[in-house]
Amino acid sequence: MYQQNQEITDKYLNQILPLFPYQEEHRKNPNGKIQMACPLCSCTRSTESKKRTRCSAFLPNDNTGYFFNCFHCKSSMDFNSFLMAYAPVLQKKYHRDMELNGLTGKNCNLKKFRPKFESPRKKFNQRKSVGIGTTS
């Protein structure tokens, strides 16, 4: 189960890495740590050399796949939360893939995917206010 979780997470990590700034500066260690310029705060730095510094990293984690950490902007989050903040469309696809493979819900790191549902009560309340369906 863990290997299947890791394969899906690696697939989406490889999709999102080319979207980050300064791709030539990325460094992957043999232990799985990926160092890079922070995609969340590097654009706010003052000089070009400071923008290129590798101040953030994806750290491998046994339970959730990867954990994002930046020591400059002090942001730290799991991979799913990072996708939610950086690329919400990819996060929905990631969550859907995890759910299709049975990796969400109880004893897993992601909750079940629940689409938003609007209640039909508004429709019924409008009928009452107009007077449809009432007998006099």
Q: CA-CA distances (angstroms) from residue 54 to 11, 39, 119, 120, 136?
A: 22, 10, 48, 51, 75
Q: Which residue has the tokens 């999709």?
A: 15
Residue 136 lies in a domain: no
Give the CATH number, domain containing residue 108.
3.90.580
Percent of the chain with pLDDT over 90: 1
Residue 93 lies in a domain: yes
The pLDDT, as a whole number, for residue 113 is: 57
| pLDDT category of residue 2 using cuts at 50, 70 and 90 | low
Q: Domain range holding 117?
A: 2-130
The pLDDT, as a whole number, for residue 129 is: 58
| pLDDT category of residue 135 using cuts at 50, 70 and 90 | low
In tens, the pLDDT along 64-111 reads 688 899 888 888 888 888 888 888 889 888 888 887 877 665 545 565
Q: Is 108:22 a contact under the CB 8 Å cutoff? A: no
The pLDDT, as a whole number, for residue 71 is: 87
Mean pLDDT, the chain, rounded, equals 76
Q: How many domains does the chain have?
A: 1
User: Which backbone phi and psi does 110 adopt, to 5 degrees?
Assistant: -120, 145
Residue 135 lies in a domain: no
pLDDT of 126 higher than 70: no
Residue 113 lies in a domain: yes
Residue 19 lies in a domain: yes
pLDDT of 134 higher than 60: no
Higher pLDDT, residue 66 or 116: 66
Residue 80 lies in a domain: yes
Stretch 132-136: mean pLDDT, rounded? 54
Residue 41, token pair as written in the block: 């705060």
The pLDDT, as a whole number, for residue 105 is: 53
pLDDT of 131 higher than 60: no
